[in-house]
Amino acid sequence: MLLAFLLPAFISLGLWQWRKAEAKTALQTELDSRSHDAAIAMPMTLLNAADIESLRHRRIMLRGTYDAAHQVLIDNRLYREQAGYHVITPLHLAGSDLHVLVNRGWLPAPADHRLLPVAEVPAGEVELTGIAVQPSQRFFNLTPQPTSGWSAVWQNLDLERFHAAVPYPLPPIVIQLDAAATGGFVRDWPRPDERADRHRSYALQWFGFAAASLGIWGFFLIRRP
């Protein structure tokens, strides 16, 4: 009876880890392919689901003005084992009512965490390029987040919260600023397939548990008087 429970459980957990690895690898393959295509101009109107899919992982050209008043710092972002922030600044697209969130990179946190790093915002109209990504909305906030007002530091990039807080439309994508573009900070962006090998290792462990359980059951079955 115990084997009937353990064997499917181990196999299911192994398949789950394997699928996570395959999904990350597929995203990396898509990024490697699309990001090397010629840059395309950012659409000037609201995007539907098909538009978002077509823009994902492509290099995008944008021209507009940063909205410094609605810039946020995303806390607890590590770079080379050092704590810091990602700087997210909305860009008002020239000739449109649309704004797009731009991740301008990573800044180290001051030794006194009560202080915030200085994240200067370029003034006037700017031209930039970057990779369009869809930020994950599956996250956990360690503390309750405010439902009104504006805060300069957020635990996670919550797109619904951003929509509710600003008076203009935002597509559900973020532009990761190119490393060569001006007006940014550290831009060593993590790879989508990061830790894919670890997921495969976990999967093999679960499959190993399944095989071991089956072997132990077979051993005692054979030894049974």
**What does pTM read for this prediction?**
0.76
Q: What residues does each domain of the chain span?
A: 1-34+195-225, 40-192
CA angle (4, 6, 8) in 5-degree steps: 75
Residue 75 has pLDDT above 90, yes or no: yes
pLDDT digits (tens, 9 = 90+) for 83-117: 999 999 999 999 888 899 999 999 999 988 888 89
Query: With 90 as the cut, is the pLDDT of residue 139 above it?
Result: no
pLDDT band, very low/low/confident/very high, at 65 (cuts 50, 70, 90): very high
Residues in the chain: 225
pLDDT digits (tens, 9 = 90+) for 193-225: 676 677 788 778 888 877 887 777 777 777 755
Least confident stretch, 1-10, 112-121, 130-139, 156-165: 1-10
Helix (H, G, I), strand (E, B) or coil at 104: strand
DSSP state at residue 53: H
Q: Report the alpha-carbon distance of residue 136 to residue 50 in Å, rounded.
A: 18
Residue 158 has pLDDT above 70, yes or no: yes
